[in-house]
Amino acid sequence: AERKLLPALYHRQMEGQFSEPTRIIGASRASLSHEEYRNFAADALKEHLKSGEFNEAEVEKFAARLFYVSVDAKSEQGWDDLKKLLDEGKERTRAFYLAVGPAIFGDISEKIRDHKLITRNTRIVVEKPIGRDLASATELNDTIGKVFREE
């Protein structure tokens, strides 16, 4: 997130590719407030953007889009908090970007389903690699496919 994802999202904003209101919700096991996450993101942008890309006003605008929730992929911790945060925009497109190890793609997919976070506008994006070999990739694809239809 720090080196690649947050700068990439910042660039999307700079290109005018976010419709309003767009929120970006960071989630991990770490316990952070929204403000602490915004500060983390601003620091990451200062460190990882190329020279001349950091614009204080745009970073403030970008940071205002950021929210954070502490969630554990393998337990019930934090999922209700995430649901409350997402319920504020039920009609919006939801893209769950899983920047985690492939071993927990299935767990997270099932938690998203079990906590009723899937709407008709929900998407899931998983980072590569997907599995260690063809058999494990097929298993992961099938696990995610039980929750999210491919189309």
What's the whole-model pTM score?
Answer: 0.87
CA angle 129/69/17 to nearest 5° reads: 65
Read off the pLDDT of residues 97-106 as tens digits, 9 standing for 90 and up: 998 888 888 8
- Asked whether residue 123 carries a pLDDT value surpassing 80, the answer given is yes
Average pLDDT over residues 133-138: 88
Number of domains the chain is built from:
2
Which residue, 47, 42, 51, is CA-closest to 10? 42
Please give the span between the terminal C-alpha atoms of the chain, in angstroms, as a whole number.
27
Shared domain check, 92 and 60: no
Q: What does the alpha-carbon distance between residue 121 and residue 8 come to, in Å, rounded to a whole number?
A: 22
Shared domain check, 104 and 53: no
Shared domain check, 57 and 86: no
Which residue, 13, 19, 21, is CA-closest to 89? 21
CATH classification of the domain holding 107: 3.40.50.720
Report which of residues 130 and 32 the model is more confident about: 32
Last residue of a domain, one of 70, 102, 126: 70
Give residue 5's domain range.
1-70
Q: What does the alpha-carbon distance between residue 12 and residue 151 come to, in Å, rounded to a whole number?
A: 24
Q: What does the alpha-carbon distance between residue 44 and residue 144 come to, in Å, rounded to a whole number?
A: 31
- Band (pLDDT 50/70/90 cuts) for residue 131 is confident
Sign, CA dihedral 121-127-133-136, equals negative
Query: Which residues does residue 69 pair with via DSSP β-bridges, in sequence order?
Result: 27
Shared domain check, 89 and 48: no
Query: 12, exposed or middle or buried, with CB in 10 Å at 0-12, 13-18, 19+?
Result: middle
